[in-house]
Amino acid sequence: MSKSETIVIKALVTGGSASGGPPIGPAVGPTGINIKDVVDAVNEKTMIFKGLSVPIRIECNPERKTFEIFIETPSTASLLLKELGAQKGSDSCVEKRIGDLSLDQIKIVVEAKKDNFLDKTYKAAMKSVLGTALSVGATVEGEDPRVIQKRIDNGEYDNQIKEEL
């Protein structure tokens, strides 16, 4: 490998809590790039996902001693659980509910994931997140998420939901 090659490091870190130990330190160390600078940049970029497992990619250029951090968003389920303040989803999502989300909390998750959706409209993305809310065992505005999906289809939330992602 020549020194001018870009080295790509993929890792899973806890948002806002990365350290110079594994997996970052041992992977970045041989590049000659300052590990503390990399860790500080990772922590700064992942702080909004504090406490969640966050997939990251670090592209290092050993010749120039530069790096770039790319953050992937945690899963939709992880973001919903964080909004609920729950550690894990329900083991029987239809019978046992673990909490209630507001429509605003659903929007927060849509915003966090918007670059990852295949959906073309905000409404479709909202309905997708509502489906995941059902899967983890959450209600939304005190209702089954499927009820909220139908209300979105009926236009009841048109004044609260923008059209484009």
Boundary of a domain, candidates 71, 101, 120: 71
Q: Please indicate, yes or no, whether residues 108 and 122 belong to a single structural domain of this protein.
A: yes
What domain range is 107 assigned to?
Answer: 76-153
pTM to 2 decimals? 0.72
Query: Which domain CATH number covers 101?
Result: 1.10.10.250
Q: How many domains does the chain have?
A: 2
By the 10 Å C-beta count (0-12 exposed, 13-18 middle, 19+ buried), 64 is classed as exposed
Q: What is the DSSP string of 42-74?
A: HHHHHGGGTTSEEEEEEEEETTTTEEEEEEPPP
Classify residue 163: in a domain, yes or no.
Answer: no
Residues 29 and 92 occupy one common structural domain: no
Q: Does residue 124 share a domain with residue 80? A: yes
Say yes or no: 107 and 44 in one domain: no
DSSP 30: G
**Per-residue pLDDT tens over the stretch 30-80:** 999 999 999 999 999 998 888 888 899 999 999 999 999 999 888 899 899
Mark whether 120 and 138 lie in a shared domain: yes
